[in-house]
Structures are given as structure tokens and as C-alpha cells.
Amino acid sequence: MANHPSRNLKNAGGILAGQAGEKMLVRRSVGLFVLAALASFGAQPAASQTGNTGVKVITRGTVSTTAVEWPDVIARRKGFYEKESLKVEHALISPTTITPSLIGGSIQIGFINASQLVIADKAGADIVAIGQGADPSPYSLVTARSVKTLSDLRGKTLSLAEPGDVYAEATKEILRKAGLDPDKDLNIRYGGNSNQRMAALIAGAVDAVPLVPPQDRVLIEQGFNAVAFYPDYYPNLTLSVTAVTRSWAANNSATVKAFMRAQAAAIGWLLEPANKDEAVKLLMEETKSDLVSSNHSYDIYITKLNMFPKNGCVQSKGFEVMLAMLSKINKTVKDGEALNQFIDTQWCS
């Protein structure tokens, strides 16, 4: 079931960790990456299971339910996985633990942060991107009702996913272009998934949060403000990818190809104008959003940005921009590194 903002109000306080808590989060995330990476050398990830009917059962992990999950929603709800003899079970996992969960084998497919994948790969983890996620991510920086412009954020509290994330850095760069020093002029708090950060904004625990459709429109309809649209600043910037471990993919090549065929079929269905009304309805049901917000999602993801490539494969341009930005904030990453270290296109339809 999709997370609903009202169900996450109790999590709002968790967004407001102090500086010491932020450092603990970074250390914990790094530790999990290291432990999981080491474990991956000594054990094979859990293999998919085949039931008596010949249906292949796999677990796909994700961190929240937004419109960027649209192809997966359609693949499930319209039977595209079933047509490929797949049963895709779902796990909602914390942003800080989803990549280690993939490396450790508790999930077979992960919809994960692209920068996490690169950092883990550089640490020796056996993971690779096989499918597109969000590129660019159609974030709007949504602010409290009293905050009308970027300049009004001076002295306010901003909630971001995690330190070192490229979209956290993109947010800071947008603030710099508005004449603000994000490290001095704002209080930045890290943690939680997008639905939890949205709940924190609703509760008044923070003053600004990057949100994607339909969540952004839900709040705008309630009088909150959108003071920046990220694709206006970064028309190509990969945020998330569909990833697997190389060893699992090699041992389950037919399953990986079937999954990618189902994703491509779902995207093809989504891009067909005649299916718009049903696609919007499915998104409303999955995200618990209203018709106006879900139509807004279609306008942004499909009409304006054409976000989903027909074959579902990772697009190199946004990944290159992400690597360049990540290289500025992580010394292990070099701008211009060969993309085949991180992307494998052989599974695309």
C-alpha cells in the first residue's frame, strides 16, 4: 500500500535530527555499504524462486511510491509482469538501507539512488544499473505558505534525503544561484523518504522540501509554494536507477530480460495517449492523490519531460551529469569515468 502523507505525520520529528545525528547517519550509511559489499564477496544473493506454476518470484525494493514508479505500477496492475511469468513482490525500504539490501541479497531488484550505486560500486560492491529511474527528477522545491521565493529561505529549515546525494547538491546549487549560502544561511536536516519529508513540511517541522508529482501538486493545492523546478536548472540529471547484482543477473538472465520486457511494455502502454485516463486513475489509487494532482503528474512526466525511455534503459547523458556532480563531493568518484563500470545495457528490450 502506498504511503499517505497523513500516515507519516508521526515520522516528521525524525526528519529533525541535529548535527550529531546527521554525522551518525553518514557513518551508519557508510558502514552498511562496507559490510554489505564485503558480504557480497562471500555469498551469492538470494536467487529467485520458482513456484509450481513456473512463475518466477522476485522481490523489488523501493523507498517510496510516487509517479516515478508509474511503469512498475502499470506492469503490476495491467498484467505485464504476469505475461512474462513473473510475480514481483515489493518491499518498502529506507533510503539508507535499500542499496545494502540489494547487495546483501534480501531483494533481487532495487529501485535505488544512482549516486548510492556509484559509491557502492567504487567500494567494490557487485551492483550495476540495468534500467532507468528518474532522469531528470521533476522535483519542485516546495515551501511553507509564508515562503514565497528562494530568498525567503534565509534562516529557514530545509529537509533533504541524505548528505552526499547529488540532488542534495543540486538543491544547494540552486540556492547558491539565488544568492544564498546553503551551509550558512539555512538549517539543513537529512533523513526519511519523500513521503516522510512531505509530512514534516505539512506539520510545520521544516520549511522546504524537494517533492515530485503528484505530491508537489497536492501541497500547492493546499496553499504551499513551489519556488524552483529542478529540470529548469538540470535538464539531464539521473537520480534513480533500477539495479541488480551482476552475479544474480548472470545466474538469472532470462528473469532479468523478462523483467525489462515487462517494464518496456508498461512504458509503451503509458506513452499511448489513449491510455492517459486509465494511467492517471492507476496513479491516483497507488499514491492516494486526487485527480488534479495525478493529471499534473502526467503533464510533467509524460508531456513535458518525456521521462520514460521506451526500452526502459538507462540514458547516458543524465548519468554523465550525475557523475560530474558527484565527483565534486566524493573523492572516490572521477568525472568522465567509463559508464560501463556502472551501467549494463544488455538486458534492455
Residue 318 or residue 34, greater confidence: 318
Residue 19: predicted pLDDT: 33
Domain-embedded: residue 108: yes
Whether residue 48 has pLDDT greater than 90: no
Separation of alpha carbons 47 and 164, rounded Å: 32
Whether residue 211 has pLDDT greater than 70: yes
160 alpha carbon, distance to own chain's centre = 13
Domain-embedded: residue 62: yes
Residue 58: predicted pLDDT: 96
Domain-embedded: residue 314: yes
Separation of alpha carbons 251 and 248, rounded Å: 5
Domain-embedded: residue 12: no
Residue 191 pLDDT grade (very low, low, confident, very high; cuts 50, 70, 90):
confident
Residue 160 or residue 54, greater confidence: 160
Whether residue 118 has pLDDT greater than 60: yes
- Tell me the CATH number at 60: 3.40.190.10
Domain-embedded: residue 17: no
Residue 134: predicted pLDDT: 87
Predicted structure pTM score:
0.79
Query: With helix as H, strand as E and coil as C, how does the chain read?
Result: CCCCHHHHHHHHHHHCCCHHHHHHHHHHHHHHHHHHHHHHHHCCCCCCEECCCCCEEEEEEECCCCHHHHHHHHHHHCCHHHHCCEEEEEEECCCCCHHHHHHHCCCCEEEEEHHHHHHHHHCCCCEEEEEECCCCCCCEEEECCCCCCHHHHCCCEEEECCCCCHHHHHHHHHHHHCCCCHHHHCEEEECCCHHHHHHHHHCCCCCEEEECCCHHHHHHHCCCEEEEEHHHHCCCCCCEEEEEEHHHHHHCHHHHHHHHHHHHHHHHHHHCHHHHHHHHHHHHHHHCCCHHHHHHHHHHHHHHCCCCCCCCCCCHHHHHHHHHHHHHHCCCCCCCCCHHHCECCCCCC
Separation of alpha carbons 324 and 302, rounded Å: 27
Separation of alpha carbons 267 and 70, rounded Å: 8
Domain-embedded: residue 216: no
Domain-embedded: residue 208: no
Residue 64: predicted pLDDT: 86
Angle between the 114-122 and 19-42 helix axes, to the nearest 10 degrees?
A: 60
Q: Using one digit for the tens of pLDDT, what is the confidence trace for 159-177?
A: 998 887 888 999 999 999 9
> Percent of the chain, pLDDT > 70?
85
Q: Using one digit for the tens of pLDDT, what is the confidence trace for 5-26?
A: 333 333 333 333 333 343 333 3
Range of the domain at 79: 28-135+237-288+307-341
Which of 174, 142, 139 lies closest to 301, judged by CA?
Answer: 139
Which of 198, 135, 199, 192 lies closest to 167, judged by CA?
Answer: 135
Q: Using one digit for the tens of pLDDT, what is the confidence trace for 279-294?
A: 999 999 999 999 999 9
Domain-embedded: residue 144: no
Whether residue 136 has pLDDT greater than 50: yes
Whether residue 40 has pLDDT greater than 50: no
How much is the mean pLDDT over the chain?
Answer: 86
Q: How many domains does the chain have?
A: 1
